[in-house]
Amino acid sequence: MMRRLVALVCAGLLAGCKTASLPPLEQVSRVDLARFMGDWYVIAHIPTWPERNAWNAVESYRLNRDGTVATTFTFREGGPDGPLRRMTPKGYVLDTASNAVWGMQFIWPIQADYRIAFISEDYGLTVIARQKRDYVWIMARTPQIPEAQYQDIVARIASWGYDVSKLRRVPQEWGSAS
pLDDT tens string 122-162: 999 999 999 999 999 999 999 999 999 999 999 999 999 99
Parallel/antiparallel/unpaired status of strands 38-46 and 168-169:
antiparallel
Judged on CB neighbours under 10 Å (0-12, 13-18, 19+), 109 is: exposed
Query: Percentage of residues in the chain with pLDDT exceeding 70?
Result: 87
Query: Is 111's pLDDT higher than 90?
Result: no
Structure confidence at residue 67 (pLDDT): 92
Structure confidence at residue 26 (pLDDT): 84
Per-domain boundaries in the chain: 23-169
Q: Output the pTM of the full model.
A: 0.85
Structure confidence at residue 25 (pLDDT): 87
Q: What integer best gives the mean pLDDT of the chain? A: 87
Parallel/antiparallel/unpaired status of strands 38-46 and 136-140:
antiparallel
Q: What is the pLDDT of residues 16-58, one digit of tens each?
A: 343 457 788 888 999 999 999 999 999 999 999 999 999 999 9
Comparison of pLDDT for 132 and 7, the residue scoring more: 132
Superfamily of chain region 23-169: Calycin beta-barrel core domain (2.40.128.20)
